[in-house]
Structure 1
């Protein structure tokens, strides 16, 4: 299963990308995360349905200094490979 996500709120400059990488790697997910010019954080992740559900819950919470206002989460039907381990794109 593969998803695209975008997290809105106070999510840049608070360790959000590192938090996402650590959460994804702990769940053995492939994918990436990056900062967007509009202040959001976006990415793609691929793995089991259960692992993605756990990842989604963690993204919605975020690290201690983040303030997540909205999490957009969309299933994708793509077959190309995502990076493993999960990584930060610049």
Structure 2
């Protein structure tokens, strides 16, 4: 369990929302989304991530292999879904 997750679990709903907003502002780089996907890949299969993130597993694989990088809209979607998971 990550330190961030522990902190989020031990805070109020308002605090969690503030953390989410701050995190979204910090996570602007497409490479950040790739790092997030790679960390999730350690917990989930690409097929499971496909269902969670609603992004095709082949596209997710391309992102994690750095063949493609996510567009801004996709980046936002990945980050928002990631923050809901944790």
TM-score of the superposed pair, with normalisation by structure 2: 0.31
The structure with the greater share of residues assigned to helix is 2
TM-score of the superposed pair, with normalisation by structure 1: 0.30
By relative contact order (CA 8 Å, sep 6+), the higher-ranking structure is 1
